[in-house]
Chains A and B, each alone.
Chain A
Amino acid sequence: MHIPDGYLSPVTCGVMYAASAPIWYKATKKIEKTLTSRTVPLLSIFSAFSFAIMMFNAPVPGGTTAHAVGGTLIAIVLGPWAATIGVSIALLIQALFFGDGGILSFGANTFNMAIVLPFVGYAVYQLISRNAPASSSRHWIGAAIGGYVGINAAALAASIELGLQPLFFHMANGTPLYCPYGLAQTIPAMMLAHLTVAGFAEAVVTGGVVAFLQHTMPYLLKLRLRKDTVA
């Protein structure tokens, strides 16, 4: 789902930076509110975990593989605001230190994967698991559905950003300057891949890990409620 540089116009990149900026600001304020000297290593390690999780290839029925983003999982453990910061840092390192992803399109990528994905995924998880006992299967089912819905919402946002390019940014004779496909092509192309393959991988990873944590490390699922973490 990473959009590389060159797919989006500089205007779109600017708009996406502007759209992400207030969320980053609010997330930073939230962190500052609960800032303790313990926050720095916690955020750093979970950002590294976010980077690592993006490298896991999950098996998907049918023989293919896809890899998860893990935004919903981090949101369930640390809260959606901390997930925004953690995934944003992982994406910045990918773009700036590894040369993957985009530097100009960083705003768009974080909007999709570090804002839309964890917030939508977490909202769905909360809706399903609210007031459920710690051992309830509603937690892992909610996490799986949250992961699936979250990544599809992020894919929809990415497909809209890409699909708007030929509509707004073209030459006088109609030559597209950036992503050459309109909404009629980007939405079905992105959504088909995410509804059938990538969404399934995200659901498997998020639901599976939450089920594992419920049995082995249930305290991690209550992390966001603790005072010394970023909620």
Chain B
Amino acid sequence: MALCESCRRGFLSRRHDFVAKTLADLTEAMKRAIFAERYAREPGLLQAIDPRVKLVTFLVLLLLAAWTRRLDVLGGLYLLTLGLAIASRIPIDFFVKRVWLFIPIFAGMVALPAIFNVVTPGKPLFTVLTLVGAPCFLPAQIFVTEQGLYGALIFILRVATSVSIAVLLVLTTRWTRLLKALGVLRFPQIGILVLGMTYRYIFLFLHNMESIFLARRSRTVGRSNWQEKERWLAASIGSLLGKSYHMSNEVYLAMVSRGWNGRPVLSDHFTLCRRDWAWLGFVFILSVLIIWVGMR
């Protein structure tokens, strides 16, 4: 019903080799992080906005996209994300592909059966199938319903708009600045420190995993049985777990030698400028407008 990114990709690509699939996932994750950092350094509209303001206003935009019941409002919000992507110097084909591939396309596949009266009863639009001697659990006619079609459209557009907003935030904000901006949401300093360290070590783990899987691929000739694959996978994860523990000790010692005393100190030098206030004002007016349209 709802699958993670990797499952969706696997579902769409139908790749069943677990080594190739893991390598593809690892490459994709690293590619995403590299591209996100590249675009976050561009001198575009959203990149110039204070990350604290951006985080809060993007949360508001996400809430608006989740709250509205109108297709035209969702369409407008989606077009706004496209406009913001262009103004932020993100290639539009890259942005559309990044958003639509996997999550909204998968949402479309998920929503497809819901347009029929079997799932969503309602006003018939057109008949697809007439069943002669249909079993008791199926209706005699299968047709597309107005409620089903509208529900599916609003569902897909809502998912696409929400993903676009989240991706836009990721692509236009350097992760270090985003991390510091979390402090505005009263996120504990210790949490911000753990998040920052985790993010850094994720790439080390991804690199280690890539080496492990590439080594296996380069040494594999012919087919291996399921039990052997399972044993190898368990040993790889087990080794990674052991390495994690030893690494945490080494990192701790490295931190102590650099003056770590258990109390995190984060430097924060953000100041709001006229552009940030203008963006805040724009999102505020947009929110009032969407709420007013929604309440009518």
Contacts and interface: CB of A to CB of B under 8 A. Distances in A.
Contacts of A220: 241-242, 245
A56 B178 contact: no
A146 to B, nearest CB: 15
12 contacts: A4-B159, A4-B162, A10-B66, A38-B248, A48-B244, A51-B202, A67-B4, A97-B175, A101-B4, A101-B5, A175-B148, A212-B238
Given A5-B66, A96-B178, A180-B120, A42 B248 contact: yes
B280 interface: no
Interface stretch (B85-93, B228-236, B267-275): B228-236
A43 B159 CA distance: 32
B54 to A, nearest CB: 12
Contacts, number: 290
B28 to A, nearest CB: 9
Interface in B139-172: 146-148, 150-152, 154-155, 158-163, 166-167, 169-171
Interface stretch (B124-132, B252-260, B282-290): B252-260
Interface of B: 1-7, 10, 16-18, 21-22, 25-26, 29, 32-33, 36, 59, 62-63, 65-67, 69, 98, 103, 107, 111, 114, 119-123, 146-148, 150-152, 154-155, 158-163, 166-167, 169-171, 175, 178, 188, 190-191, 193-195, 197-199, 201-202, 204-206, 209, 226, 229-231, 233-238, 240-242, 244-245, 247-249, 251-252, 255-256, 260-262, 264
Interface in A49-97: 49, 51-59, 61, 63-67, 70, 73, 77, 89-90, 92-93, 95-97
Given A59-B226, A77-B241, A99-B167, A175 B150 contact: yes
Contacts of A212: 234-235, 237-238
Contacts of A132: none
Contact of A217 (B171, B238, B261): B238
A180 B261 contact: no
B263 to A, nearest CB: 9
Contacts of A98: 29, 32-33, 36, 170
Contacts of A49: 205, 240-241, 244
A151 interface: no
A103 B2 contact: no
Contacts of A205: 233-234, 237
B4 A100 contact: yes
